A and B are shown apart, each in its own frame.
Chain A
Amino acid sequence: MTASIEKHGTIIDDAIARLLARAENARGLAPNDVRPRVAAALAKYLFKDNENATAAEIKAFVDELRADDLCLVLACERGIDSAWDELVRTQDKTVKAAAWKISPRSEDADDLASSIWAELYGLKHDKDGKLKSKLSYYSGRGSLGGWLRAIVSQLAIDQYRKQSRLVQVEEAREFENLANESSEKTDNLSVVAHHDNPEDIFGEKQLRTDVSKALSAAISELAPDDRLLLKLYYFDELKLKDIGQMFGYHEATASRKVVRIQGEIRKSVERILQTQHHWSAEEVKRYLAETASKLGISLEKLVTVLIIGALVQEALRGTVL
């Protein structure tokens, strides 16, 4: 990658000159001040996947960088007070809004926002004695606001993972209590079912296990794009509009993709259940229909339980990670 950068040195310099020229406020930065950051971005986003990137691709890449945001961040790294003032003035609201959105409690949100600003300013020193700021990771490829939101989200999830390791036992117990409480109601049998007959309990559990495995296998067989779309839609409950925007296509296209993926999953699940778990076609059809109908009812009535369950699963994943 270093070779590629040296190879296209002139093109990169020209692109940097244009970047500084199109910035509304270059903040007194020289091309050499910007060049290392641009080179790192090229290596990270372009040359890592394509070392033989053309001059046009390099030019287009640099031209797509957020010149103003990048200059502001670089100026902050250089310790320019006016740049810091502007950064705080323009982005503090973004950081706090993101923190308040992610953190359910106000004190946690304030702590999270303070932590973000501390990391942006830099708490540690590198080997040269300079403060190591999170700003050094900003490439200018995305907007500064989006990057700050990602920082907030990243820090919140990491903090949650650390805390979840401590509270997971308690939450699991809480979830178990809620599940037992809900299962005592006759209309909640589908999700947390109690059967008097042990054979029925075992049989139901075996069916579930088979379906879960088949479903996991079917999802894993999907293409990464489809898998990510599926998870963002079903697991993270994002809107198709936002998902499509992220992928660069329309909401309707995202909807069509979801329908297509559903069909692929059904085929895969049926196939896996029949081939690997020796279900008959009639059993597959009946079980999927029964499960879906029961889940449809239960999901509406036990949304609280499912949310708690998702939190527990998230906590469990934290232990794995």
Chain B
Amino acid sequence: MEFEFDKEIDAILRRARAGEAAASADAHLDADEISAFAENGVSEAARVRFTAHLADCARCRKILSNTILLNSEAAPEAASAAVAARAAKTKTPWYRKLFVFPQLAYTMGAFVLLLSGFFGYLIIQNMQGANSSEVSYSTNRAATDRSSAPANASSAASTTNSSALSNSSVATNSASLPATSNTTTSTTTTNAAPLSAGNTATAAKPAPAEKPVAPQLNAPVFSPQATPAPEADNSLNATKNEAPRDDLAKVSPAAPTAGAAQNRAAEDKQKKVKDLAKSDENEAAVAEQDFRLERKSVPKTAKRQQSEAGAARSVGGKTFNNVGGIWFDSAVGRQKQKSVRRGTEEYRKLEAGLRSIAEQLGGTVVVLWNGKAYRIE
């Protein structure tokens, strides 16, 4: 609108303010009339009359303009006062008070503290998480060992089975028992690698993976023609460092032909069962059940292998002859034999090499060790 103004006349009119004509001859308007006029509160006839006076009376017009100016400035104040009154009446929510200075400063400080505390907690958690992950890893490993225990057994059994199957086509040293050739032994050893690999694979599996193993244990793994020979030196070497086993020896003292793999499986099973007994009774029970299932299969082979008498094996640099189901060290003379039973504290105190021989041979072993004769049963 200002753009459409006649700027020349506009400028001249502004200057003409200084030469404004003097007052009207009419009676001045009083404050009531002026205020009513300012608020457009007079009748049309009165408005015309007042306008005629105000147009020529500088004094009344000045009062009018001042009144209009004061009213226009008072209106926002009144409005703001009304708003302030309403705001005062309105209850401010507690969370809005937090964003009002100076509460805002305290709020931000508290927020920073909370945030730093949170990050600190996260850092500590991460540090602990690293430890706990290690623990968890160990636990997993333990669980893996636990879960792989039956798998080891089954794998061992299957390994034995496979080796037995492969042996079935190999010529035997004995007429009654199929001989275990190097090929067979190597097969067993070769199968031992997948066995460990199988253990690893089993370790990644959850515990329920054990269940399918049980039927494998029940499977007729030992066929009469597939029993591995006890002379698998490589296999013995491979299992030289295996943990001692005695329960299996008790079960089948006359069944050394059960094979290193089977012994190893049984030992693993026993060890795992013991470990599990401390931590998890149920899993231990399952493992125990699996172990018992395995034990049931052992006598069958032991009966078959009782006819292996007269066989000779070389273990730990010593030559053992099986006489009546007892492995006799060829170096043993008439020394007094110290009888030691597997699983006893006395047995555990034996040197590892001696125990290794006993474990590899299984059953009753009479061995000369450091000049002393031991009868390990």
Interface residues of A (CB under 8 A from B): 44-46, 48-50, 57, 61, 64, 94, 97-98, 101-102, 134, 137-139, 141-143, 145-147, 149-154, 156-157, 161, 191, 211-212, 215-216, 219-220, 224-225, 227-228, 230-232, 234-236, 238-239, 241-243, 245-248, 252, 255-256, 258-259, 262-263, 265-266, 269, 288-289, 291-293, 295-296, 299, 306, 309-310, 313-314, 317, 320-321
| B16, A139: Cβ atoms closer than 8 Å | no
Interface residues of B (CB under 8 A from A): 1-2, 4-23, 30-43, 45-46, 48-49, 51-52, 54-56, 58-59, 61-74, 77
| A157, B70: Cβ atoms closer than 8 Å | no
Known: A147-B31, A242-B72. A224 touches B13 (CB 8 A): no
| A216, B21: Cβ atoms closer than 8 Å | yes
Name the residue on A nearest B73 (C-beta).
Answer: A101
| A142, B32: Cβ atoms closer than 8 Å | yes
Q: Given known contacts A234-B14, A288-B9, what 16 new A-B pairs fall within 8 Å (CB)? A: A45-B43, A48-B46, A49-B43, A142-B32, A149-B67, A149-B71, A153-B66, A212-B19, A216-B19, A224-B54, A256-B1, A259-B6, A263-B9, A310-B17, A317-B23, A321-B59
Known: A146-B38, A215-B12, A234-B16. A292 touches B65 (CB 8 A): no
Minimum Cβ distance to chain B for residue A242 (Å): 5
| A141, B61: Cβ atoms closer than 8 Å | no
Known: A224-B51, A242-B72. A236 touches B19 (CB 8 A): no
Shortest beta-carbon contacts, A-B, top 5 = A49-B45, A292-B8, A236-B65, A153-B66, A150-B31
Out of A145, A215, A248, name the residue touching B40 (CB < 8 Å).
A248
Chain A residues in 8 Å Cβ range of B19: 212, 215-216, 313
Name the residue on B nearest A233 (C-beta).
Answer: B13
Chain A residues in 8 Å Cβ range of B16: 212, 215-216, 219, 234
Complex-state Cα separation, A229 to B356, whole angstroms:
123
- Give 15 pairs: A residue, B residue, CB < 8 Å, sorted on A: A45-B42, A45-B43, A147-B35, A149-B35, A149-B71, A157-B63, A191-B15, A216-B21, A232-B65, A236-B62, A238-B68, A259-B5, A265-B9, A291-B12, A292-B8
| A224, B14: Cβ atoms closer than 8 Å | no
Complex-state Cα separation, A148 to B356, whole angstroms:
118
| B9, A246: Cβ atoms closer than 8 Å | no
| A247, B66: Cβ atoms closer than 8 Å | no
Minimum Cβ distance to chain B for residue A218 (Å): 9
Minimum Cβ distance to chain A for residue B39 (Å): 5
| A102, B66: Cβ atoms closer than 8 Å | yes
Complex-state Cα separation, A246 to B39, whole angstroms:
6
Out of B1, B4, B48, name the residue touching A224 (CB < 8 Å).
B48
Minimum Cβ distance to chain B for residue A286 (Å): 11
Name the residue on A nearest B14 (C-beta).
Answer: A234
Complex-state Cα separation, A44 to B18, whole angstroms:
34
Chain B residues in 8 Å Cβ range of A256: 1
Chain B residues in 8 Å Cβ range of A239: 72
Complex-state Cα separation, A147 to B33, whole angstroms:
9
Minimum Cβ distance to chain B for residue A252 (Å): 7
| B30, A137: Cβ atoms closer than 8 Å | yes
| A232, B61: Cβ atoms closer than 8 Å | yes
Complex-state Cα separation, A151 to B30, whole angstroms:
9
Out of A49, A149, A230, A248, name the residue touching B13 (CB < 8 Å).
A230
Known: A45-B42, A151-B31, A242-B69. A157 touches B62 (CB 8 A): yes
Chain B residues in 8 Å Cβ range of A247: 40
Name the residue on A nearest B21 (C-beta).
Answer: A216
| A224, B55: Cβ atoms closer than 8 Å | yes
Out of A45, A212, A220, A266, name the residue touching B9 (CB < 8 Å).
A266
Known: A234-B17, A313-B20. A296 touches B11 (CB 8 A): yes
Complex-state Cα separation, A38 to B163, whole angstroms:
128
Out of B6, B35, B49, B73, name the residue touching A146 (CB < 8 Å).
B35
| A228, B13: Cβ atoms closer than 8 Å | no
| A153, B70: Cβ atoms closer than 8 Å | yes
Chain A residues in 8 Å Cβ range of B42: 45, 141
Minimum Cβ distance to chain A for residue B266 (Å): 103
Known: A142-B36, A225-B51. A49 touches B46 (CB 8 A): yes
